[in-house]
Amino acid sequence: MKNPTIISLGGSIVVPDGIDTAFVSAFRELLQERIKRGESFIVIVGGGKVCRRYQNAATELGVTGKDPLDWVGIFATRLNAELVRVAFGERAHQELVLDPAVLPSVSKPLAIGAGWKPGHSTDFEAILMAESSGAKRTINLSNIDYVYDKDPKKFPDAKKIERATWKEFRALLPEPTAWVPGLNAPFDPVAAKRADELSLEIAIMNGTDLPNLQQYLDGNPFKGTAIRG
């Protein structure tokens, strides 16, 4: 794959409560049009509410270990990702790409991935894919328009952040000691640390606004948070 764009697609967009087939269809149309222009993509799909519901259920059933809870979440991401993969048909690689080492064997212009192994979020998987493919930008599609300096649901005076350095952005996140299964944050702090080390560009935006995603891909002003070195 040549100069792919990495997209970390939040599971909460694919499956907000029920499966949003209208979104998947529109997302497919957008990427297919860009693939026709010669672009390529690696899309890593998250677990969202499906993941957290299963992990909460496992906790209620007495599961306490981080690895078992992580595996429950990982398989939730794979279910979401397989739906997205088959929706693209022949344009996508014939199976989910979980290990970045597989990328050299991918001949299709689109690879779909998901959770790989315990200790990693899908955000971190996206960064690993960027590192392995040489991609310079990663798009994080979530259910928020911007990153804020504090939780806007709790603090009415929270200010949106349109541009930030990695140092500024990472100061808003928990310490990147280790991945916590089911963590609900604008970006995995462990992934942020690695992206900072790689000097990647990350754009965080609301994934349901696909015209806005198109603006970013075209290099135009967009609504969201851009993080650069």
Each of the 229 residues of the chain gets a pLDDT tens digit; together they read: 778 999 999 999 999 989 999 999 999 999 999 999 999 999 999 998 899 999 999 999 999 888 999 999 999 999 999 999 999 999 999 999 999 999 999 999 999 999 999 888 888 999 999 999 999 889 999 988 999 988 888 888 989 999 999 999 988 887 755 555 555 567 788 888 999 999 999 999 999 999 999 999 999 999 999 998 7
Query: What distance in Å separates the CA atoms of residue 66 and residue 113, rounded to the nearest whole number?
Result: 22
Closest CA to 14 of 41, 43, 38: 43
Task: Report helix angle 189-198 to 122-133, nearest 10.
Answer: 20
Answer CATH for 5-137+168-201 from 3.40.1160.10, 3.40.50.2300, 3.30.750.24, 3.40.50.300: 3.40.1160.10
